[in-house]
Chains A and B, each alone.
Chain A
Amino acid sequence: MNWESWSQFWAMGGDGLYVWSAYLVAIVVIFTEIAVIGLTRRSILEHLGRYAKIARKERKPRIDDSRF
């Protein structure tokens, strides 16, 4: 272990500004990507459900192919 205390760790020998801003940017960017992917998925699933409901009303029932 390189550090003796938490305050030493956060100070990074006086270079903390550069080191921590690099890691902060990385964390922000990565978690933003995760959130965007999750929100996109949710909106796609919502649209698919809505679209299917409309399609079902407008169209004749599909032939059930499990009987063949």
Chain B
Amino acid sequence: MPALSSTLSPDESPPLPAWSRATPQRGYVHAGRFLPWFAFAAAVLCAGGLFVGLAVAQTDPHQHEHYRIAFIHTPSLWLSVAIYFFTAATAGYGLFRRQRLLSMIASALAPTGALFAFLALWTGSLWGKPIWGTWWVWEARLTAELLVLFLFLGYIALQEAIDDTRRADRASGLLALVGAFGLPLLYFSVFRWSTMHGSAPQGLSAPDSPIIAAGIILMSLGLLAYATAATLARLRNVILKRERNSEWVERNFGARP
């Protein structure tokens, strides 16, 4: 564009849009900078949440101590769903903007999301057995959560199966987006029939037990901080692996001669 370059000296070139400044190199530096803070917050908040939930909170008159599984079950569930939509958003935005760092963030998020989906199902099963008398029922919330887990596993499998990272990002991003639109559809269609599951955040909606609510909130924040820290740590691995041929990686991580 000659008209533009003739009016601007090299020093005052127009600023690049924000998304194009988000390079993998900057992502690596910022991930490393924020990682210890999130790890620290996760340790403190989870310790507080476990103390409140397991030691301070009172015994429930109906469910006795079984309800204490909620302090790990509910935050895991919220996080798995939140991470899923965040994965789909970053993967989708990376797909249409061809923004590599966003696709890397998406692939760093997915394993942690799968972990929390697995935890939500597993702890839910351990809660369902004594209360409902069964490990599993085909019911709206449980089925939707199982789908979240399978979508995460599908996303990870697609990424691993395709060697060309750009094609892998495209295929898995598409899967994540389809899931993000399909998931609410499935949830609300199945939800219309019948449900055995208790109303969502019982601890939060019950004003008579602010201690239980505090425990669940503390654990949610703590596990959110953990998920962020784990994602940042994994993001650094993903960046190094994908950018291994770039000059800055070689300069900073190549062996000393």
The size of the chain B interface, using a CB distance under 8 A, is 40
Residue B21, interface by CB 8 Å: no
Closest to A25 in B: B122
Residues in chain A within 8 A of chain B (CB atoms) = 1-3, 9, 12-16, 18-19, 21-23, 25-26, 29-30, 33-34, 37-38, 40-41, 44-45, 47-53, 55-56
Q: Which 7 A-B pairs have the closest CB atoms?
A: A52-B254, A49-B255, A15-B65, A22-B123, A12-B65, A48-B253, A22-B126
CB-CB under 8 A from B130, the residues of chain A are: 15, 18
Please determine whether A30 and B65 come into contact, CB atoms closer than 8 angstroms.
no
CB-CB under 8 A from B118, the residues of chain A are: 29
> Inter-chain contact count A-B, CB under 8 Å?
101
Contact of A2 among B55, B69, B76, B250 (CB under 8 A): B55
Bound CA span A48–B256, Å = 11
Interfacial residues of chain B within 233-257, with CB under 8 A of chain A in the complex: 233-234, 236-237, 240-241, 244, 249-250, 253-255, 257
Please determine whether A29 and B119 come into contact, CB atoms closer than 8 angstroms.
yes
Please determine whether B68 and A19 come into contact, CB atoms closer than 8 angstroms.
yes
Known: A26-B119, A26-B123. 17 other contacts (CB 8 A): A1-B55, A2-B59, A13-B65, A19-B65, A19-B68, A21-B126, A30-B226, A33-B230, A34-B230, A40-B237, A41-B233, A44-B237, A44-B241, A47-B244, A49-B254, A50-B255, A55-B254
